[in-house]
Structure 1
């Protein structure tokens, strides 16, 4: 009889413990991450959820999909999401106008010029007289960085070439059809081209180094409101830590990538492996201080070329653009 009572008590205690665990899980604060519906940042976000890294750091990640980049910015400004993605140019410009946004490096995979491997374009100088597709428009930072690099050797890249601005998938197809001599495109489009006989001619990272950057500069990062981060320091730090851990998983685990296979949209195994390789190469390795300083160097060069239309009133990168929590580690 006593044994039966103790046994029943143990079962009840176990059930209460399980219920408490569920309640605790349900009570976790939510971090709302606004992302482009088909953007590659979704790969890391899904990994955070799949691996339980959000729960590990005391929050529940809610991925909020958007159709366009402008919509994510509006949602962040309105407080409808807590974190989104963009670049340091946008963050610095907004800080200079009074919006306390901060930037957290996500990926150093940046734009590069692609051309047929066996063609006559093997260097930046070889682009003279050629028609080049440029994704992102005349103020795309990779395009401006290459223009700045070319100017160091006396070449006006915009005048020496015929740039055609357009959407990344369209430009990729025009290159395949031979209507463009080369294309400056985003990394995941370039990864696909690498499996089709196209090679990287020059990248924006090479331009950054020509300006004086010592390490790789992130092309995109997470963006949050500094006031939200100050009000929710554990959530802000927890999100950054979960992102770091997810990158470690994706850097080492092929099994984790298998769960992302469909999401990558890879047309075949070769494309899938190339996307995985290039993603891993884009994981930032510089210290926060080093990347901040390198980015400031690049920013100064871009401000000279793009002017106020690009950087707004901030001729230098606005102080605090990179989140201070990255350096303090707290």
Structure 2
């Protein structure tokens, strides 16, 4: 009785970025009662920005957040006790162009105007490395790269202000499913062209190292169980939209969103996955330089492959 009661008192604090897909997963965990079934309490707090979630993690207000593979190294370098404990999402999406665009290959991007969410966008850095390796030019130098927020990329292309774009994966799915745009090249094909596996983790579940290991293990198990239910439960997706966790003006695009989300789920967490992330970082640094990427090397000690829920 005492042991069961003690287990029921386990809790974990998760920091969510507003609009981020971890909020979908925590919604699923609570919807299906997975935290209760596994014997812990999930405390989820939503923050306005990714920077705010990082502050919460650093202060200890949150024990878990989702962030990319570069940020966890930067946090460690600053002395914060955190590590990436499980991949959350693969690098998905790609480069999008209008359906009737004369751009047919990456080589055709030379001299064109390309929209990206930032100059440090991971897909842009990978595209730069790919174009350098396969077409002999760096799009940052031979093309015009402009900063465009992902939700506005479709409008900019419709007006002809940009000729290609790198939207976030969910906007990519929505744009392509509407029929007016096509994917020039996927992130997976960019990675393959660089000699890397197509399934390279981009986002990780990052935890404070002072988090109780047993409770963290239960949380990771709940995440995987929730994702399995989300893949099979068609009723979950309208409920998620009704909960205002994502804005989708045209619900006809929901199947494409759901399919693209599922395609980005990691299948495993091994030393090989970590090595692929390491090699990708080296290639990005080689083409863009450490100042743009934000670090000189990836610290593999910031990653923990021991959790296998």
Q: Same fold (TM over 0.5)?
A: yes
Shift of 1:93: 2.4
Q: Does 1:225 align with 2:208?
A: yes
Residue 83 of structure 1 corresponds to 64
SS in 2 for 1:325: coil
User: Which of 51-60 and 142-151 deviates more?
Assistant: 51-60
Q: Map Cα deviations across residues 71-130 of structure 1 (whole Å, 9 max, x no partner).
A: 110110010111111101111222234333212211114341111122212221111121
Q: Distance in 2 between matches of 1:237 and 1:27?
A: 15
Residue 199 of structure 1 corresponds to 182
SS in 2 for 1:54: helix
Residue 319 of structure 1 corresponds to 300
Shift of 1:64: 0.7
Residue 272 of structure 2 corresponds to 290
Residue 7 of structure 1 corresponds to none
SS in 1 for 2:160: coil
Give the length in aligned residue pairs: 303
Q: Distance in 1 between matches of 2:272 and 2:235?
A: 32
Q: 1:40 aligns with which of 9, 13, 21?
A: 21
Residue 270 of structure 1 corresponds to 252
What TM-score does the superposition give when structure 2 sets the normalisation length? 0.90
Q: Report runs of 4+ in structure 1 exceeding 6 Å deviation.
A: none
SS in 2 for 1:212: coil
CA contact (8 A) 1:25 1:55 kept: no
Q: Map Cα deviations across residues 251-298 of structure 1 (whole Å, 9 max, x no partner).
A: 222122232233332222321111111111111124422211211110
User: Which protein has the larger Cα radius of gyration, Structure 1 or Structure 2?
Assistant: 1
Residue 151 of structure 2 corresponds to 169
CA contact (8 A) 1:115 1:198 kept: yes
| Unaligned residue ranges in structure 1 (runs of 5+) | 1-16
CA contact (8 A) 2:271 2:305 kept: no
Shift of 1:305: 3.0
CA contact (8 A) 1:108 1:220 kept: yes
| Unaligned residue ranges in structure 2 (runs of 5+) | none
Q: Does 1:142 align with 2:123?
A: yes
User: Which of 199-208 and 146-155 deviates more?
Assistant: 199-208
Residue 218 of structure 2 corresponds to 238
What TM-score does the superposition give when structure 1 sets the normalisation length? 0.84
Q: Distance in 2 between matches of 1:78 and 1:70?
A: 12
> Which structure has more helix as a fraction of its residues?
1
Shift of 1:35: 1.1
Q: Distance in 2 between matches of 1:238 and 1:112?
A: 33
Q: 1:179 aligns with which of 161, 173, 178?
A: 161
Q: Distance in 2 between matches of 1:245 and 1:39?
A: 19
C-alpha RMSD of matched pairs (Å): 2.3
Q: Distance in 2 between matches of 1:306 and 1:102?
A: 25
Shift of 1:24: 5.0
Residue 12 of structure 2 corresponds to 31
CA contact (8 A) 2:93 2:173 kept: no
Residue 64 of structure 1 corresponds to 45
Shift of 1:41: 2.2
Q: Does 1:55 align with 2:36?
A: yes
